[in-house]
Amino acid sequence: MGEKMESFKQGLNVEAARKAVPEMSSYEQPYYRSSPSFLSMFPRYVLVFVVFLIHMLFWWGATMNGPSGEGGLNSFLSILHGLSDLFGVTGFFVLMLFITWCNNFVNFSTSGRWYTISLLLISLTPGFFFLEWVFTDGPAGVLIGLVAETPTGFLPDWNDSFYLYFGVIYSSVMFVLTIMYQRAFTYVITDKQVYLKKEFLKFIDANSHAISLTKIENLKVERSLIGRMLGYGSLHVITASGMGLREDSISVGTGAASEITDAATNQSSNFFIRMIRLMFVVIRLQRTRTTVDLDPEDCFYGIRKPMDVYALVNELRTRPGAPVDGASSSPSVEVDSSESSEIEVVE
């Protein structure tokens, strides 16, 4: 038995590994089990902090007095206080919409559909209160009252302290869901296959797939600066079928440009509708390029000591008596043959 195989086997709870991946056959010997580390979700926690910070900024600007005194820091804080107090709900909407667009465009790990929808909801929250006021106590409500009974609102009048309340609620929910998301993934390596499993909120988002060791064409270890400092990184398992890769572009194509033009100039809609369509089209724009897949369900995302783990996979693939292509015990694995064995470290 190889050095890495022996080392990982001694530190593994075999029963827990089999319980985590019940589809593992009884003929397989597990050697490794892990999940993403807490700090691997750092960009997501940063986004949670940004959402909380923006709410606190507008709450402070609307309800508190600005800082007194001289100095660079006080001057900067005074400018922030004045801007948040001046622009109010409109400024909050524009700033949150800008954060949403930037987050989606740069293809961070937080650029997924659910994060974008969540940020849009947060951006529009004060607007819901404003629209209800318009149609109940505001101008539209007055006009409706001339010909019919004025509709009754179910939301309270917007209060500047709501910035504090919604900031705490939204950031807390995002923080808890991020922790649950980090714990939703399980990675297991056996002497025959690699398993990547996801169970986020159980029945809402769950999937699992196995990759035969004989189908692995390439291994890539990717570590950010923070990951190198703290000892974690991502191991990408790439097959000949393209698993482990994704398309990620750095430019806006002509199709997207045409969609923007149509959304802004469509004469069948009024100006307000055109602006809403344009807003959603622009938010959907993303860069594109070919790169490794950073989705935690398609790689060993943010694991501890990734260099040791890829050494384990390579040792399992090349050991005497290792399974050969076409002899995999799992019928669900794709038949993609490859004889290459490359190891690449991306930092």
Question: pLDDT tens-digit profile of 122-138?
Answer: 998 988 887 777 667 66
DSSP H or E run through 346: strand 342-346
DSSP H or E run through 276: helix 271-284
Hey, how many other C-beta atoms are within 10 angstroms of the C-beta on 160?
A: 17
Q: Is the dihedral of CA 92, 94, 97, 101 positive or negative?
A: negative
More confident residue, 2 or 296: 296
More confident residue, 336 or 237: 237
pLDDT number for residue 84: 62
Confidence class for position 112, pLDDT limits 50, 70, 90 = confident
Q: What is the pTM of this model?
A: 0.71
Mean of pLDDT values over 8-22: 92
Mean of pLDDT values over 7-26: 92
pLDDT number for residue 341: 40
Tokens of 272: 């307000």
Hey, how many other C-beta atoms are within 10 angstroms of the C-beta on 313?
A: 21
Calculate Rg over the CA atoms of the chain: 26
pLDDT, the chain, mean: 76
Single-letter amino acid code for the residue at 251: S
pLDDT number for residue 81: 60
Q: What is the pLDDT of residues 205-244, one digit of tens each?
A: 788 889 999 888 888 898 888 888 888 999 998 887 666 5
Confidence class for position 197, pLDDT limits 50, 70, 90 = very high
Per mean pLDDT, which range of 67-76, 142-151, 193-202, 212-221 is the poorest?
A: 67-76
Q: Which of 300, 297, 182, 188 has its CA nearest to residue 236? A: 300
Mean of pLDDT values over 28-40: 92
Residue 148 has pLDDT above 80, yes or no: no
Residue 250 has pLDDT above 50, yes or no: no
